[in-house]
Amino acid sequence: MHCASCAVNIEKELADVPGVLSAKVNAVTETALIESEQPLAIETLQEATSRAGDYVIASSGGSAADHSGQMSDRAHQGGDGEHDHAPAAGSSAYRKTLVAVVGALFVLAVLIVFQFWVDVPYEGWIALLLATPVQFVVGATFYKGMWGPLKRGRANMDTLIALGSTTAYAYSFVSLLIHSEPELFLDASVAIVSLVALGRLLESRAKGRASAALQELSRLQPQVAHLVLEGGDMRDVSVSELKVGDRVRVKASEQVPVDGVVVEGSSSVDESLITGESFPVQKEIGASVIGGTLNQRGTFVLRAEGLGLDSVLSQMTRMVEEAQMSKAPIQKLADTISAVFVPALLLIAIGTFFVWWLGGFADVSGAVLVLVSVLVVACPCALGLATPTAVITGVGNAARRGILVRDAETLQHARNTSVMVFDKTGTITQGSPTVTQVLGDATQTLSVAAALESASEHPLASAVLNYAQEQGVTTSTVEAFEAVTGQGVQGVVNGEAAAIGSLRFMKERSVAVPEEIEKQAQVLEAAAQTVVFVSRGEALLGALAITDPVKDTSAEAVQVLKRMGIRSSLLTGDAEATARAVASEVGIETYTADMRPEEKLTAISRLQQEGEVVAMVGDGVNDAPALAQANVGIAMGAGTDIAREVAGMTLIQGDLLKATEAIQISRVTMRLIKQNLGWAFVYNLVLIPVAAFGLLHPAYAAGAMALSSISVVLNSLRVRR
């Protein structure tokens, strides 16, 4: 696939397949993402792509239900049946293209020698004989690419190349038949075919580099695992044979085969290719490990948990792939222009021919030369590649750094972020809280609190349960459990209504809070500790002080944002004193405390109404509405599933500095997209008139067209720096 018009034609054919809800085609990755009401046969998709041109479905990811319950089929398109659109040196596609280009350039050299230095009998016919294989063997790909759309009344880049080179060849042939001193444009026809073929080869290599991140992710998955059998023996098995709960040994210097939890031994693991963290991470018993990461000197045994499509690596690959397939809003302009560009240029080229010929500015041969130049130089390749190559490289670069981008629209919006809003627990803080003090009746308070928190998934729940266990407190069973998002939880413990949560939550339940405990809580909150209150019936049993240390990089991230011209704000359900203390520690100027989820959403909406572009960073269920409302939702990798689901970006490692990197990658990507589009528009605006005025030979037009596409792709690769 070589241009945006190719992608548009394939999209139209796939969209016409019965049952297809939508189809997105990316000319750079040569893939199609199809949403359908039911599974689709590959043969049905192949028939549709064949109507669009010489496109073969080389492989398919199969069918998988997506999050909306629809079906998602991935069909990877590849000319000549190649799975990889960037042929590797030594591959059959590479050799075929290289031989064709070298042969075409040889013929071009011979034609030039015949024309300027050697005078032999029948040199014109000899030249035609040499040019014919180039035109119809090397150029066969252009005819195949033109024929499918042409039958459907459509045109693409291959149409322009095929018509331009064939016009030069056909005119030369007719001139040989009817003139004793023929005018030959065979050098032009051979130059067009060879230079465009060479340009496509170089372009495909560069496009392969643009999508290298996805290839790197797919290569991370090991194929063999050391399965630990009953009795301690080991047997090497395929990773696909593993089941959840299997014990797997990971030796020194080996890749971790699957996601799991360490159950024996310890080691340090290099997670840089997954999380972007450059330093090895120490793994002890109970620590989670990710499949595809590199174990270092130690050895350990893990219990397999994340297998197949449920693994972190598979989810990353799928998310990166879908993000690279998506289209940024800025691409709509390029797609709209590309859809009408080729038919319009055909009319312009034909009109130019008649103006030159009938207007008396040139004879037929001169008019033909201008016609060919306009056809060749007008190919909209650079325009079609301008946005997707930069998006693919930007998304891939983000993935390398441990930042998963959901779609190109998120990447575009992130560039304009003016305010970044943070949640506190698990976002600015480490999300590993511990109980430091109990106010009131310690035994009863801990007993009721642990009973309630045993059914909760909130980060504070584990702190309460761990502390109760350390203190040897007996935990009761909770009934009628209910979580009030952002406030607390309630239920029935030992036949009595009970609750644990914020001071606001207690007062809404008409629980009387003793003044002494409230004052003690205020002192603790001023020291950046979170205080939760525990009640039974309408009586307060006591309160728990919980500390959650601020992450080492949080303050640095806030300072980086300031240098980038982005304001920071803290929205938290914690008390005002705690919010103030944490905001002061990391350098955030504005904060709002004691907020419910709907109030966070309202606060973000208010900022947007004031003209701000808001990025929201959070990790919990209570952050989900705000993440969805924000222009850019950024979820922490260790956060809840719903937070990651609604967010436009996910920070795998949960480091706030990665949020600043995401904004920087967005800014660089959008700057390069604008440069690419600017270059593509200037190229066509300048060279089409130059060709129309007869100032550009077809050979130079072909070279300029190929160079424009290559330059756009190479410019996009700068995102990786």
pLDDT in tens, 406-442: 888 888 899 999 999 999 888 898 877 889 999 988 8
Whole-angstrom Cα distance, residue 464 to residue 454?
Answer: 9
Whole-angstrom Cα distance, residue 531 to residue 450?
Answer: 15
Q: How much is the average pLDDT of 475-485?
A: 84
Q: Is 423 a catalytic residue?
A: yes
pLDDT in tens, 310-338: 777 777 777 777 776 677 777 777 667 76
**621: pLDDT strictly greater than 90:** no
How does residue 116 score in pLDDT terms, banded at 50, 70 and 90? low
Nearest by Cα to 315 from 336, 290, 297: 290
Whole-angstrom Cα distance, residue 319 to residue 325?
Answer: 10
DSSP assignment letter at 472: T
Whole-angstrom Cα distance, residue 651 to residue 164?
Answer: 50
Tell me which residue has tokens 């060479």.
198
**CB-based contacts of 636, cutoff 8 Å, min separation 6:** 426, 427, 431, 617, 618, 619, 643, 650, 651, 654
CB atoms within 10 A of CB 614: 24
DSSP assignment letter at 655: -
**CB-based contacts of 638, cutoff 8 Å, min separation 6:** 426, 431, 619, 654
Instruction: Give the CA distances from residue 367 to residues 370, 372, 690, in Å, rounded to whole numbers and listed in that order.
Output: 5, 9, 14
| Under 8 Å between Cβ of 74 and 317 | no
Whole-angstrom Cα distance, residue 72 to residue 621?
Answer: 27
Catalytic member of 259, 423, 574, 594: 423
Share above pLDDT 70 across residues of the chain, in percent, rounded to a whole number: 86
pLDDT in tens, 198-227: 767 766 666 666 566 566 666 677 888 999
**CB-based contacts of 499, cutoff 8 Å, min separation 6:** 452, 488, 489, 490, 491, 505, 506, 509, 511, 534, 535
How does residue 145 score in pLDDT terms, banded at 50, 70 and 90? confident
Q: What is the pTM of this model?
A: 0.70
- 230 versus 721: the higher-pLDDT residue is 230
pLDDT recorded at residue 76: 36
Token digits of residue 272: 């840089």
pLDDT in tens, 526-555: 888 889 999 998 889 999 998 888 898 999
**608: pLDDT strictly greater than 90:** yes
What the chain holds in terms of domains, given with CATH numbers, is: 4-80 (3.30.70), 92-212+326-393+669-720 (no CATH), 220-312 (2.70.150.10), 403-429+550-652 (3.40.50.1000), 434-547 (3.40.1110.10)
| Under 8 Å between Cβ of 3 and 161 | no
- 623 versus 148: the higher-pLDDT residue is 623
Whole-angstrom Cα distance, residue 532 to residue 506?
Answer: 10
**603: pLDDT strictly greater than 90:** yes
How does residue 81 score in pLDDT terms, banded at 50, 70 and 90? very low
**615: pLDDT strictly greater than 90:** yes
Whole-angstrom Cα distance, residue 207 to residue 335?
Answer: 19
Nearest by Cα to 61 from 325, 241, 389: 325
Which H/E stretch holds residue 651? strand 649-651
590-592, strands of its sheet edge to edge: 403-405, 649-651, 632-636, 614-618, 419-422, 567-571, 590-592
**125: pLDDT strictly greater than 60:** yes
